[in-house]
Every structure is written in structure tokens, then in C-alpha cells.
Amino acid sequence: MTQLSVNINKVATLRNARGGAVPDLLQVAYDLQQMGAQGITIHPRPDERHIRYSDARALPRVISTELNIEGNPNPKFIDLVMEVHPTQVTLVPDAPDALTSNAGWDTIGQQVYLREIIAQFKAAGIRTSIFVEPVEEMIQGAADTGTDRIELYTEGYAVGYSQDPEKAISPFVAAAVKAKEVGLGLNAGHDLNLENIHYFAQNIPNLLEVSIGHALISEALYSGFETIIHAYLEKLA
């Protein structure tokens, strides 16, 4: 079964909109795991507009599953990951002012840079994953960096799903096959939701984990977290 890691950035956004500590990010993270989520994902950005670095330091106290920290590996981010020591770090090539993740790594052109950072995290016993698009050359390049896993950037699938699901998923199936061929674990995320995730999970071989935030939080506004968590788990089974 594919595991569900819930990205709680939007919970932090809501909290920060009013100041104070409501909603309580740590309590939400704890409760989501009690409801069935198999991991918690955060993506602290340099301006701390949602997840704060202090959140990242506090979250291990309530994590009973897995903590995944995403981000662009600038020196401050690297120091944070080494201090917090999450289960997994996912490297994403975000510009500091990026609204959301919008591209995968050039794992060929930036291979030396990635290899050095990944080696540092792996030496500390932290599982590594890097954000890539479903391009076989980039997946081969990812394998050459020494990463443990890749996370497929799924916006292209989400955009094309409603028009032609088979066409939309085709490059992702090929990417999954390539990932297995080169010995990489496979994660996925970005714009996956209750409408499109079942087809994705049923057709992508060896899918270990999906990280979902914006859609899940939005859907939960209508249905409640517990209902939404179980709905996702049923789709992933």
C-alpha cells in the first residue's frame, strides 16, 4: 500500500494569518497521525511564511510515523535538517519567492551539487529524495547523485487527467519503470487530490509514498480531517 504523508503547510498559513497558535500545528500533526496519516510533511521556506523553522524543531516531539522536510538546500535549510534529523529530506529547486513548487531538478547539470548535499544527509542517516519531472534522463541523473528516492512532480498528470487520464499518466508510468530499473524508491506529489489519486496509485508501479497538502486541507474544510484521511487511504489501497 502506498503511504500517505500529509503536508501541513496550509495549517501553518492559517495560524500565521491571525498570529498566535490557533490552529495548534503540533496538535494537528499529532491528530492527523492518530486518524491514519502515515507521515507528516513540511516545506519551510526562507521567509517562513507558513512553516517556521521553530515548527520544524518542535515537530519531532509529536511524530510517531515519519517526518519529511522539503526544501531548497541552502545552508540554513541544510543546518535545519541536520539539527532536526527527520526520517526523510526531499530536495526541491524552489526559488526563494516561489509560491509553490513548480519544477524538478536538472539532475544532470546540477549533479555534482546534489551529490555533495545528498552524501551529507545520508552520512547522517537521513533518507534522501529529490523532486524530478517524469523524464527518464533526469531519473537516471537522480540515480547518479546517490539519492535513495525520487519524488515525481505530478502537476502535469493533474492538469491532463480530466481530459485524457491514460495520456496524462503515460510519462509517469515510464518514469516509475525507469526508477525501479535504476534502483530508486518512488514518491510523488503536487496537485494530487481525491478525484485523480486513485487512478494514479493504481497505475504507477512501486509507488511508496504520496505527499498531499493543499488539496487535502481544502477538501477537509468540507468533510473533516478524519473523513478525508480515510478517503485517501481507501483510494491508495
pLDDT in tens, 148-198: 999 999 999 999 999 999 999 999 999 999 999 999 999 999 999 999 999
Phi-psi category of 71—alpha, beta or left, where left has phi over 0 and alpha has psi -120 to 50?
A: left
User: What CATH number is associated with residue 19?
Assistant: 3.20.20.70
- Provide the greatest CA pair distance for the chain: 48
Element (H, E) at 29: helix 25-34
What's the chain's average pLDDT?
A: 95
**Is residue 7 helix, strand or coil?**
strand
Predicted confidence band at 140 (pLDDT cuts at 50, 70, 90)? very high
The rounded distance, in Å, linking the Cα atoms of 158 and 233 is 19
The domain in which residue 58 lies consists of 3-236
Predicted confidence band at 94 (pLDDT cuts at 50, 70, 90)? confident
99 pLDDT higher than 70: no
The domain tally of the chain equals 1
Share of the chain above pLDDT 90, in %: 91
Output the pTM of the full model.
Answer: 0.92
Catalytic residue positions? Answer: 43, 70, 190
Quick one: angle between helices 136-145 and 111-123, nearest 10?
50
The rounded distance, in Å, linking the Cα atoms of 38 and 32 is 9
